[in-house]
A = this chain, B = another copy of it.
């Protein structure tokens, strides 16, 4: 994981569909070297995949929220079952399993506030294992590029 690898990771985060040739040109290295690096990064699990970034408003999900919730009884089984159940709901974009005041945090996206209300009241409140939740409506989201390793004396 040297400077070149970090740069490859950074560039592929910004644009995952650029060709290997273009990537190599930007980095000033031979395409074969570049391809080898990308394959090695993939093999080592640094690059896990490539995903299209989809506009949620364009898919009729203009309203997003973070929903922090607590489950009871608090056990591995209940956490996992709740996680799997909510992951099947179309409104749920991603799920964090956390520790702190909350047990799960859901990132949800829905058409409008009426549907958010329906999701909370009909989708979550009815589940006995969900003891409580708190909703924060999202106004903006900013994504940061993960630049490289944080400073690390080793390696």
Contacts and interface: CB of A to CB of B under 8 A. Distances in A.
Interface string A35-62: 0000000001111111111111011110
Number of copies: 2
A145 to B, nearest CB: 9
A87 B146 contact: no
A152 interface: yes
Contacts of A75: none
Output the residue of A17, A46, A50, A144 with the most chain B CB within 10 A.
Answer: A144
A34 interface: no
A56 B96 CA distance: 15
A9 interface: yes
Interface string A61-103: 1000110100000000000000100010011111111111110
20 contacts: A9-B54, A13-B52, A15-B51, A16-B49, A16-B51, A17-B17, A46-B58, A48-B53, A48-B54, A50-B50, A60-B152, A61-B149, A66-B98, A87-B144, A90-B150, A92-B144, A93-B146, A97-B142, A109-B146, A115-B150
